[in-house]
Amino acid sequence: MQRRELSWPSFAGLWSRAVRDHAARPFLVFETEEGTAVTWTYAEFDAVVGRTASGLAARGVGRGDRVLLVLPNSVAFVAVWLACSVLGATFSSSDPRARAPELAHQHARLRPRLVVCGADQAGQVPSGALDGRTVVVSSAVDTTVGGLARDGDSPAPAPAVTAEDVLSVLFTSGTTSAPKGVVVSQGVYAHTGLVMAEAAGLGSRSRFLVALPLFHANAQYYCFAAAIAVGASVALVPAFSATRYLTQLERLEATHASLFAAPLRMVLARGGDRPLRRPLEHMWFAQDLTADEYARVTRLVGCRPRQLYGMTETGPAVLSQPAGAAGPAGLGGVTPGCLVRLGDLHSGAPLPLPGHGEIQVGGLPGRTVFTGYLDDPRSSDGVVTAREADGRIWFRTGDRATVAADGTWSFSGRSSEQLKVAGENVSAVEIEQVVARHPGVFEVAVTARPDPVRTEVPVAHVVPAGVPAPDLVESVLAWCAANLSPAKRPHEVHLVEELPRTSVGKIRKFLLTADGRPEPGPQEAQP
């Protein structure tokens, strides 16, 4: 067992090692909305984690049990996450802006033992979960986690946590269905932390600024897990602010950062133009910037940001630009410690390089890549193109890339059913399902409209049910606001008489223009 854990560490083991080796060094610096910073060393925060684990155990949470987190960026989020890891329990983090129908769906799928939510989120939590199985956290710096973690509690039992134990179920929008629950093991979190720390050149004296939401894999994988892997620290802020971001980097003494292209554009628009007095050592970014945007960001932060590519299912960012070849576009090469190949877009068969095809990621389920989708073996099997004798699988991402002769990968498109809105994966199918339930809607198709800040935003093309009411557009928008989190809400609703279709009835979304009017396309001979 000892040798096995050395080869495949659990995330709980990674945390334990960090506490042992870096006890007196800072782990978490949390800056409140008022600008006050509170700091915990690894040893101090381990005490918080221990009390939180005891509180969870007292509520009946043990190995294999699930906890649903509906929290903004906060100390409680980190405490519950790490407490679940040492207990061998599973957490699932939801968008704190999610509405009641979305949370009800996740709650029904998860059947959690406990819900931990913020005061602002409590009103959206399903009423059936409020019968003593919900803990409400009132403050972002509440180390008692709403009274769950109390001084003097006896230590929780420490089970023999393994790399294969499930640590999280992260809901991510799929390309052909409602959001899937991505099952992620302790081993994948540990593997991701070790790989991403090395890729970012992270050391024990480094500090990541986390302004992205903690429910998102980017903050969990690339920042927190990487920091814990090497005993680095994390500066956490309640939410991203374009106007505060640069000053937060300076004030909190960050050396490393990670953002999507959309918030970087917001920084350029509203964050000021004075370069950092203390340049960053490293910055990750996702999704292309223009050459001008990249040059301006580089000037502000003092280092050349490096683009990466990864998914919740893949653990680490499996493609990343090397430090010496960073630029505004392109995904660089395969990240050391990862396996990536090019596959045929239809059959999934591996293709020789250079070439064009689907990005496929290889790994061991439950150790280096996700275990599968929650209670959905059909979808889990559907994204696997090959299973090898050593247990390795090849995961089909659904994303396309071109690989040049020098081995450089370039992103060249995603499935038409998945949008990328300000860094969030958004399922067009999920939006369509919500809009279709509106009594005035007969049929709907959702497409993406390019957006200079958010990269893409959803647009709904609606066929009315009968004669449309005069306020149907406004009514659909209000319906979406009540049932979808902000990133998923259509920015426009266009009323159309019919949706363009193939000869077998499939909707031809590429013929739906930005103003909602179908444009004539070539005749289609094949189904």
Instruction: Give yes or no for residue 158 having a pLDDT over 80.
Output: no
**Backbone φ, ψ for residue 93 (5° rounding):** -105, 125
CB atoms within 10 A of CB 324: 7
Residue 191's nearest CA partner among 425, 435, 365 is: 365
- Name the least confident of 170-174, 205-209, 215-219, 373-377: 170-174
Q: Between 342 and 271, where is the model more confident?
A: 342
Q: What is the pLDDT of residue 504?
A: 43
- Per-residue pLDDT tens for 276-310? 999 999 999 998 788 899 999 999 999 999 999 99
**CA 94 to CA 215: how far, in whole Å?**
6
Kindly indicate the confidence band of residue 271, based on its pLDDT and cuts at 50, 70 and 90: confident
Instruction: Give yes or no for residue 503 having a pLDDT over 60.
Output: no
Pairing of strands 26-31, 37-41: antiparallel
How many residues are listed for the chain in this entry? 527
**CA 225 to CA 76: how far, in whole Å?**
17
Q: What is the pLDDT of residue 75?
A: 98
Q: What is the pLDDT of residue 6?
A: 40
**CA 225 to CA 218: how far, in whole Å?**
10
Average pLDDT over residues 182-188: 98
Q: What is the pLDDT of residue 262?
A: 82
- Per-residue pLDDT tens for 19-33? 999 999 999 999 999
Q: What is the pLDDT of residue 208?
A: 98
Listed in sequence order, the residues at least 6 apart from 49 whose beta carbon sits closer than 8 Å to its beta carbon are 15, 79, 82, 83, 86
Instruction: Give yes or no for residue 152 having a pLDDT over 90.
Output: no
Q: What is the pLDDT of residue 4?
A: 35
- Name the least confident of 7-21, 116-130, 165-179: 165-179
- Per-residue pLDDT tens for 413-459? 765 567 889 888 788 878 988 998 999 998 899 999 999 888 899 99
Q: What is the pLDDT of residue 156?
A: 65
Burial-class residue 183 by CB neighbours within 10 Å (0-12, 13-18, 19+). Answer: buried
Amino acid at 140: A
Token pair belonging to 462: 């609606």
Pairing of strands 180-185, 372-373: antiparallel
- Name the least confident of 184-188, 233-237, 257-261, 442-446: 442-446
Q: What is the pLDDT of residue 386?
A: 86
Q: What is the pLDDT of residue 179?
A: 76
**CA 39 to CA 123: how far, in whole Å?**
31
Q: Is the dihedral of CA 265, 266, 270, 271 positive or negative?
A: negative
Instruction: Give yes or no for residue 2 having a pLDDT over 50.
Output: no
- Name the least confident of 200-204, 226-230, 281-285, 429-433: 429-433
- Per-residue pLDDT tens for 304-357? 999 999 999 999 999 999 999 999 989 999 999 999 999 998 899 999 999 999
Residue 441's nearest CA partner among 460, 455, 418 is: 460
**CA 104 to CA 107: how far, in whole Å?**
5
Q: What is the pLDDT of residue 150?
A: 78
Tell me the CA distances in angstroms from 433 to 100, 427, 475, one per residue in order: 15, 10, 16
Domains, the chain, in order of start with CATH, read 2-401 (3.40.50.12780), 418-511 (3.30.300.30)
**CA 22 to CA 105: how far, in whole Å?**
41
Token pair belonging to 358: 């689907």
- Whether 440 contacts 447, CB under 8 Å: no
Pairing of strands 282-286, 256-260: parallel
Pairing of strands 333-334, 339-343: unpaired
Q: What is the pLDDT of residue 522?
A: 35
Is there a cis peptide before residue 354, judged by omega within 30 degrees of 0?
yes
- Whether 187 contacts 271, CB under 8 Å: no
Average pLDDT over residues 36-64: 96
Kindly indicate the confidence band of residue 275, based on its pLDDT and cuts at 50, 70 and 90: very high
Average pLDDT over residues 155-169: 86
- Whether 296 contacts 305, CB under 8 Å: no
Q: Is the dihedral of CA 24, 9, 211, 171 positive or negative?
A: negative
Instruction: Give yes or no for residue 155 having a pLDDT over 80.
Output: no
- Per-residue pLDDT tens for 451-497? 988 889 999 999 999 889 899 999 999 999 999 999 999 999 999 99
- Per-residue pLDDT tens for 83-141? 999 999 999 999 999 999 999 999 999 999 999 999 999 999 987 665 668 999 999 99
Token pair belonging to 100: 């009641």
Average pLDDT over residues 252-276: 93
- Whether 253 contacts 278, CB under 8 Å: yes
Pairing of strands 180-185, 26-31: unpaired
Burial-class residue 407 by CB neighbours within 10 Å (0-12, 13-18, 19+). Answer: exposed
**CA 86 to CA 49: how far, in whole Å?**
9
- Per-residue pLDDT tens for 354-412? 999 999 999 999 999 999 999 999 989 999 998 998 999 999 998 889 999 999 999 88
Q: What is the pLDDT of residue 178?
A: 63
Average pLDDT over residues 492-511: 78
Greatest mean pLDDT among 76-85, 168-177, 342-351, 493-502: 76-85
